[in-house]
Amino acid sequence: MAHNIEVELTSNKKKKPVTEQLEFGKYFTDHMFIMDYDGEQGWHQPRIIPYQPLLLDPAAKVFHYGQTVFEGLKAYRTPDGRTVLFRPQKNFQRLNLSNDRLSIPAVDEEFALEALKQLLVIDQDWIPEEQGTSLYIRPFVIATQPSLGASTSTHYQFIIIMSPVGSYYAEGIHPVKIHVESDYVRAVRGGVGMAKTAGNYAASLRAQDTAAASGYAQVLWLDGVHRKYIEEVGSMNVFFKINGTVVTPALNGSILDGVTRNSILQLVRSWNIPCEERQISIDELYEAHKNGTLEEAWGTGTAAVISPVGELNWNNERLVIHGGQTGELSSKLYNTLTGIQRGELKDEFGWLVQLSS
């Protein structure tokens, strides 16, 4: 699919926010990428245009049946002035896994990356440079066929928008308190939990809001069948350090295969720290906490990178982890991964893709 990308530049550049104003996903760059799909032409008319509202029919299927998927990745400006993306191929691979699960036609992964690079060259000066900042990139696909028939859409749009961001958590990398959810579930095996799709988030908001009202930043989901095994936290995968061993739930079909999770596993293994991907029950965590072997806990995701967990609330008991402070391994992982992402540490794993502009 060797398409030429048409470019229409804006004549009306926006004022960029100062770093202190950056909130997650609040400001958007001057341009966006968009292409269309229909049965006859496949994906066609790729174009970069000024950032603007979409014009959609109110019957567009995405509004009614949620046929949509998304991705999230980041671009960084290195201290020596290069622009780099962190493992973007993995995001476009996963986009197609999500597409497949939602019956959305695949996009050409190489072409999507090429389109993203062109968009980045055009909006390069939107990448903030201060420590902890980056340009968050949101590719997504929506079903646009105007029809209330509850069936697979015939038409789609693939869009990329970009947003300069500071740290995900306003407080920086301080430990968060997490509520272990025992009423609601997020996903079950065979459902869409392993796809990055809007419905998973819609389904999580009630529990999220209830937890937030009691002072918890996120919820920790248990599996939907036994209500017993750890799944993930909000928009993050979750790790524990128990008696010197790093453990994280295995990819079981109901949790997301996070790029950050995968990177953390590679780092931990390269440091020869024992590491297991397996089922972890909430009872095991409770026991480990009781006997003092639950040493650290943290979430992993593109937005926050590493988010230490200082407290778990389960059945009205508060399990304080590492004295509510950030653990040594959590810090080391955060510093190493963000150091590699910002081009300050050696990219031993070949994770960075550089823009050649």
Positions in the binding site for ligand PLP (CB under 6 A): 72, 196, 200, 232, 235-237, 256, 258-261, 300-302
Q: For residue 256, which of 303, 191, 194 has the smallest C-alpha distance?
A: 194
Smallest distance, Å, CB 300 to ligand PLP?
6
Q: Which is nearer to ligand PLP, 48 or 107 (CB)?
A: 107
**Neighbouring C-alpha atoms within 13 Å toward the C-beta of 246:** 22
Alpha carbon 104 to chain centroid distance? Answer: 20
C-alpha distances out from residue 291 to 4, 242, 285, Å = 62, 10, 10
Q: Which is nearer to ligand PLP, 187 or 329 (CB)?
A: 187
Smallest distance, Å, CB 100 to ligand PLP?
16
* Element housing 283 (H / E): helix 282-290
Smallest distance, Å, CB 262 to ligand PLP?
8
Structure tokens at 349: 């794993």
Smallest distance, Å, CB 302 to ligand PLP?
3
Q: Which is nearer to ligand PLP, 258 or 310 (CB)?
A: 258
Q: Which is nearer to ligand PLP, 98 or 157 (CB)?
A: 98
Smallest distance, Å, CB 69 to ligand PLP?
10
Smallest distance, Å, CB 80 to ligand PLP?
26
Q: Which is nearer to ligand PLP, 49 or 159 (CB)?
A: 159
Q: Which is nearer to ligand PLP, 74 or 77 (CB)?
A: 74
**Neighbouring C-alpha atoms within 13 Å toward the C-beta of 283:** 3
Neighbours of 8 (CB within 10 A): 10
> Are the CB atoms for 62 and 143 separated by under 8 Å?
yes
Neighbours of 118 (CB within 10 A): 18
Q: Which is nearer to ligand PLP, 301 or 308 (CB)?
A: 301
Please give the Cα distance from 46 to 150 (Å, whole number): 28
Smallest distance, Å, CB 299 to ligand PLP?
8
- Locate tokens 């823009």: which residue? 355
Q: For residue 103, which of 65, 55, 56 has the smallest C-alpha distance?
A: 65
* Element housing 176 (H / E): strand 176-180
Q: Which is nearer to ligand PLP, 29 or 204 (CB)?
A: 204
Smallest distance, Å, CB 14 to ligand PLP?
27
User: Phi and psi (nearest 5°) for 97?
Assistant: -65, -45
